[in-house]
Every structure is written in C-alpha cells, then in structure tokens.
Amino acid sequence: MKGVLYLIPSPLGDNDPKEVIPATVMELASTLKHFVVEEVRTARRYLSKIGLKGRIDSLEFYELNEHTKPQEVEAYIKILLSGESMGLISEAGLPAVADPGSLLVELAHNNGIEVKPMVGPSSLMMALMASGMNGQSFAFTGYLPVKPEERRARIKHLEKLSLTQHQTQIIIETPYRNNSLLGDMLLACSPKTRLCIAAEISLEGAFIKTKTIEQWGREKVDLNKKPCVFIL
C-alpha cells in the first residue's frame, strides 16, 4: 500500500500558527515522520510551534528548493511508494503554489500516489478576496521580468488583458524588488487603472488598499522587504 502526500500549509509570516492553521492540520502533521520542505530550519521551527516540540529530532527532513536536483525528488517518491506518508511544507502559505513543491506533487500523480491538500492561508486568494476586483475571471501571472524595460512592457500587456478581457491579473515579486515594481507600474499604467496592493497579509502590519494609479502616485508607500501581492 502506498503512502499519502499531504500538502501542509504554513503561516504567511512569523505569527502564531494557531491564528491561521486549523487544528485538524496541526493534528495531522503530528502523525507524520517524513517532511519535504524548502528550508529545514524554518520547517523545524514551524513544526515545534504546532505541537511537535520534543519530537523534532526523530523526524526525517528532505529539502526541495531551487537547488534540488530532479533525481533527489525522485528518491523522495520512493518513500511514499514504500507505504510511508509524507508532508510537503512550503516556506510560507500553500505548498506547490508559486513553490518548487509542485515537482513532487507531479511525480506523486505520475506514480499513482494520493495527494491530499490541507486547508490553510493563501496570500493570493486573500488578496483577491479583499481587492474588490473581478473574482470570476483572474490569472496568477507570478513574477515579472527583472529588467525594467521588459517589466514595463509586461505590465502594459497585463493592463491591456485586465481592461479588454475584464480579467484580474495577480502579480507577486521578491520583497526587495517591490518598490521597483510599483515604480514601473506607476510609469507604465494608465492613471485610471486600478491597482490593489496587499502587504503582509494576516500579519500585524497588514494593509490592503485598492486605488487608481493616479492615486497611488500621490502616496508615499514603502514596500521594501514586505511580502506583497499586486493586483491589476
């Protein structure tokens, strides 16, 4: 009998997991021995907070990030095929969404292994919910190009999609590039285009505001090193 791959959500920041993680998820995590994680130290800290403190040294951790080789991920699948269940934990939020864990999920399906997603916070969906934008048709476009001229061209393309197809465009960026991205949006977009900035969702300093590009241009907002979601 094959094991089950559980997709275990984590908080979006360094807040108390009990604020955003259901008790059933924490209870399930306590039954597992094997965990595939982005960063072992962060995962150990998280699991300690949700009730596994004192058991951490008995757990098995396997890293899956941008440096992990495909053959290493294939080795993780062998554990599931042997009958052992496993938890997949992202660095923050939902596993396999804008996250390298999707490779393990793909391999699980290819090998007939049950994949069970658990309930938890999604910065993308929480931002969309609170944005006032169209929630019937939307696209997550992920990260934009790093080079300013390419990024501005991509922003203009996404703005056009949003306006002509009435399709909300959801964008994320590496936190230290947030201010640069916002600056390019202010340059590339029409003054009347609406932009939602959702920063530090579920954390103490959270704010979610939807304004026109013209209105954002009159505000002084510092998004440096803050986890953000941008919605056009």
**197-203 mean pLDDT:** 96
**What is the pLDDT of the chain when averaged over all its residues?**
95
pLDDT tens-digit readout, 66-114: 899 989 999 999 999 999 999 999 988 999 998 999 999 999 999 999 9
pLDDT at 20: 94
| Residue 29 scores a pLDDT above 90 | yes
Give the domain-ending residue among 96, 117, 138.
117
Q: Are 17 and 46 in contact (CB under 8 A)?
A: yes
Q: What is the pLDDT of residue 127?
A: 98
Choosing from 97, 117, 137, the residue where a domain stops is 117
For position 201, what pLDDT does the model report? 96
- Domain count along the chain: 2
184: left (phi over 0), alpha (psi -120 to 50) or beta: alpha
Predicted local distance difference test score (pLDDT) of residue 115:
98
State the pairing for strand pair 114-117/194-199: unpaired
CATH for 184 = 3.30.950.10
pLDDT tens sequence across 138-148: 999 999 999 99
The arithmetic mean of pLDDT across residues 190-199, rounded, is 98
Same domain membership, residue 108 and residue 27: yes
- Residue at which a domain ends, from 117, 141, 171: 117
Binned at pLDDT 50, 70 and 90, residue 165 comes out as very high
- Residue 145 DSSP code: P
- 231: phi then psi, degrees, rounded to nearest 5: -130, 125
Average pLDDT over residues 36-43: 94
Confidence grade of residue 53 (pLDDT, cut at 50, 70, 90): confident
CA-based angle 80:81:84, to the nearest 5? 40
| pLDDT(227) > 90 | yes
pLDDT, residue 133, reads: 97
26/57 same-domain check: yes
Euclidean distance between the first and final Cα of the chain, in Å? 47
128 in the same domain as 110? no
Same domain, 131 and 211: yes
Query: Is the same domain home to 29 and 45?
Result: yes
Segments forming the whole domain that contains residue 15: 4-117
**Domain identity same for 143 and 227:** yes
Reading phi first (left if > 0) and then psi (alpha if -120 to 50, else beta), residue 231 is in beta
CATH number at residue 48: 3.40.1010.10
- Please give the C-alpha separations between residue 49 and each of 26, 53, 58, 157, in angstroms, as whole numbers: 10, 7, 16, 43
- Identify the pLDDT of residue 14: 86
pLDDT-based confidence at 15, cuts 50/70/90?
Answer: confident
Predicted local distance difference test score (pLDDT) of residue 54 = 86
Mean pLDDT of 199-212: 95
Percent of the chain residues topping a pLDDT of 70: 100
